[in-house]
Amino acid sequence: MSDITRLNKGPRMSQAVIYNGIVHLSGQVDTNGKTAADQTRAILANIETLLEEAGSNKSRILQATIWLNDVADFDEMNSVWDAWVDPQNPPARACGECKLALDSLKVEILITAAIAA
């Protein structure tokens, strides 16, 4: 049986959990950006850092779930996502609208990725 590795543990959650060659990131948000594009850029940079720490990278992303506080921000978020995502290895992806934990949050992104071989 594989061990479970937890990265950046806090009292409520870990930022990443690695099990059986898969890294599961917690929902990533940015509290500083004012626009959906700014928040998406910051979130994706944080995702890259967490994936690297876990031994993975964006070309190994299996699935992405993106939550928008307002679906009107869909095109703005996608403009940043499209420039960032590995075009040779795009993940399965879902995007939906939901009320996020804080009104100031415009985007939350959850990622599941394979550990680099």
Question: What residue ranges do the domains of the chain occupy?
Answer: 4-114
Q: Would you say 112 and 25 are in contact if contact means Cβ atoms under 8 Å apart?
A: yes
pLDDT of 117? 72
State which amino acid sits at residue 88: Q
Give per-residue pLDDT as tens, 60-79. Answer: 999 999 999 999 999 999 99
Burial class, 55, CB count within 10 angstroms (exposed 0-12 / middle 13-18 / buried 19+): middle
CATH for 4-114 is 3.30.1330.40
Q: Which amino acid is at 5?
A: T
CA 24 centroid distance within chain: 9
- At 102 the pLDDT is 95
Give pLDDT tens digits for 74-114: 999 999 999 999 999 999 999 999 999 999 999 999 999 99
pLDDT of residue 104: 96
Mean pLDDT rounded to a whole number for the chain: 96
Residue ranges of alpha helices (H) inside the chain are 36-54, 74-84
Predicted confidence band at 40 (pLDDT cuts at 50, 70, 90)?
Answer: very high
End-to-end Cα distance, the chain = 19
Is 14 a residue whose pLDDT tops 80?
Answer: yes
Q: What is the pTM of this model?
A: 0.95
